[in-house]
Amino acid sequence: MIKNAKKFYWFPQIFSVIILSFIAANSFAQTYGNEWIVQGQKYYKVKVFKNGLYKLDGTVLSGLGSPADAEIWWRGKQIPIQVSVAGSSFNSGDFILFYGERNNGDLDSALYYKTSNQPHRDYSMYSDTAVYFLTFNSSGSKQRITTTQQYKSTSYTAQKEFTQEAAKYFNNAYSPGICIAQNILMGKAMLVILFQLEVQLIFLELQK
């Protein structure tokens, strides 16, 4: 009986070690979305508030880094860019071209208790400005915009119409929403009232 009790005594400790090892392994395997940032490397903010093509002038880029090492990142992903020069430095007339998009509501979704309460995923309620990060890294692959030669042909028939999709955002007025804090306070007040009623009932029962 003593030997069996000793074996049973060690089982919870072994089980605890296994659980802790499992938790530690999962914590090290987690990603936080900032894995693209290289420690000690410089990043330059490029703010975009409208969809379209953006051009960074060579006079601004001069001295920042080599054109072959240029990268632009947005939300943890490297985006394709066009670099006009293949030399070792930027000069006047050189440029970096990229397509930028304004901020949308993807990041806002984390602020809502229920994602279904978010007014719109395509429009941010806090800022229309997105931030792109320009950096220079001598290692790793580079995303580049591929160029093609203009193709002309007379064998195609011109179309008389086309379909275009457009979005209109009515953002001149905001819903007052629901005050969660007020609902919590009301709920606590109701609990206090119910507790007081229960105490009174117990007191009346004791007096009988």
17-73 pLDDT, tens digit each: 555 555 555 555 567 778 889 999 999 999 999 999 999 999 999 999 999 999 999
Asked whether residue 198 is domain-assigned, the answer is yes
Asked whether residue 131 is domain-assigned, the answer is yes
124 with 107: CB under 8 angstroms? yes
- Who wins on pLDDT, 201 or 80? 80
Identify the domain containing residue 197 by its residue range: 178-208
Asked whether residue 50 is domain-assigned, the answer is yes
Indicate if the pLDDT at residue 11 is higher than 50.
no
For residue 99, give the nearest of 139, 61, 59, 130 by alpha carbon: 130
Asked whether residue 103 is domain-assigned, the answer is yes
Side by side, the strands of the sheet bearing 43-48 are 43-48, 130-136, 70-74, 77-78
In this prediction, residue 207 carries a pLDDT of 66
pTM, entire model: 0.65
